[in-house]
Amino acid sequence: MQIDLRSDTVTKPSPDMRKAMANAEVGDDVYGDDPTVNALEEKAADLFGKEDAIFVSSGTQGNLISVLSQAGRGDEILLGDICHIFSSEAGGVSVLGGVVMYPLKTNTDGTIDEEKITEAVKPDDYHKPNTKLFAFENSHGGISGMPINKESSDKMALAAKKSGLRVHVDGARIFNASIALGTSVKDLTEHVDSVTFCLSKGLSCPVGSIIVGDKNQIAEARRIRKLLGSAMRQVGVLASCGIVALDSMIERLAEDHDNAKKLAVGLSEISKIVINPDNIHTNLVKFKVPQNKGFEVSEKLKDLGILINGSYTELRMVSHYGIDSKDIDKTIESMSTVMNSISA
């Protein structure tokens, strides 16, 4: 049996989710008539202390709709230079929305300096785009799932708001951040206008993300979702999993964090691997192998039944609902075998 550490997106729905899907009460969500979707959206909005919420098909779509519902063609969004919206969403906000992305230097802890935010806001000059929105990521997937604490989140959000900007959080794994920090998602996002979070990563749902925000923004988000051809009908079958996830899958993320830390410590003891376990706080484990050996390492691990995401030098493993402590032991043992076969 394979051990799949490529991502927490490979998780499969829990038995309770499958039961909920089979028994879900449904209606036409385009008309607002699906009671299960309505219940999920209400639950999500309440968790974050926001006025409203909308169920969408993916995290990328959630970020796209969030941006397009708060910035128009020719407007500008400020965001981190290694954030997911900028680097891994096919430039969608620009391609589909005409929104200009202005990247800011990201610190090693996932934050962006307040002065960088305020200095990047464009003056009222018809040569410049109108800066409308600031976005940041929590936890930060580009930095081994680094969680950003409330103090740092508030500083960035309030700096942007002082400059007249709205603030969006790509919270694909914000519940991982919440568990790691011991801080509620409501407190972590107190001063932001919108948040997208994924149901289909660590929370183990088969499909879906949620956007939370104020009523006006979510109303516009519904229009944008329709424009993108993404309004769905009897989608309570999927939303039912989201309710199970929010009720029962959040606290167990701590197990994933423990497994990730165990993995990081084990990897740190293997020759030719560079990793600092102290930098692993959630479920993402990034490490380096000798230059240009990454694909060779990942292929040899695959031969041993372990799947990971590979590149030239930096590799990533992700713990999740489908991985237990014994899988971590086997991965460490297999990684040691592979690295012993790799020339420096």
DSSP string, 190-215: TT-SEEEEESSSTT--SS-EEEEE-H
pLDDT of residue 320 exceeding 90, the answer is: yes
| Same domain (yes/no): 166, 99 | yes
pLDDT of residue 221 exceeding 80, the answer is: yes
pLDDT of residue 344 exceeding 90, the answer is: no
Q: Residue 311 domain-assigned?
A: yes
Give the pair of three-digit tokens for residue 125: 């000059």
| Same domain (yes/no): 291, 321 | yes
Pairing of strands 306-307, 3-4: parallel
CA angle 186/64/208 to nearest 5° reads 65
CATH number at residue 324: 3.90.1150.10
- At 154, the pLDDT band (50, 70, 90 cuts) reads very high
| Same domain (yes/no): 132, 22 | yes
The total of structural domains in the chain comes to: 2
Q: Residue 78 domain-assigned?
A: yes
Q: Residue 7 domain-assigned?
A: no
* DSSP SS3 for 318: strand
- At 130, the pLDDT band (50, 70, 90 cuts) reads very high
| Same domain (yes/no): 223, 160 | yes
pLDDT at 63: 98
| Same domain (yes/no): 244, 131 | yes
Q: Residue 2 domain-assigned?
A: no
pLDDT at 310: 80
| Same domain (yes/no): 218, 311 | no
| Same domain (yes/no): 236, 197 | yes
Question: What range defines the domain where residue 275 resides?
Answer: 252-340
Per-residue pLDDT averaged across 53-67, rounded? 98
pLDDT of residue 239 exceeding 90, the answer is: yes
Per-residue pLDDT averaged across 247-270, rounded? 98
Task: Supply the pTM of this predicted model.
Answer: 0.96
Per-residue pLDDT averaged across 188-194, rounded? 98
Q: Residue 141 domain-assigned?
A: yes
Domain boundary among 187, 216, 248: 248
Pairing of strands 209-213, 194-198: antiparallel
| Same domain (yes/no): 324, 306 | yes
Domain boundary among 248, 267, 299: 248
- At 342, the pLDDT band (50, 70, 90 cuts) reads confident
Q: Residue 266 domain-assigned?
A: yes
| Same domain (yes/no): 100, 182 | yes
Q: Residue 3 domain-assigned?
A: no
* DSSP SS3 for 153: helix
Percent of the chain clearing pLDDT 90 (strictly above): 98
Question: How confident is the prediction for the chain on average, in pLDDT?
Answer: 97
pLDDT at 343: 80
Cβ pair 50, 212 in contact under 8 A: yes
| Same domain (yes/no): 258, 244 | no
Q: Residue 119 domain-assigned?
A: yes
Q: CB under 8 Å to 310, separation ≥6 — which residues?
A: 294, 295, 297, 298, 299
CATH number at residue 72: 3.40.640.10
| Same domain (yes/no): 196, 97 | yes
| Same domain (yes/no): 228, 267 | no
Q: CB under 8 Å to 184, separation ≥6 — which residues?
A: 178
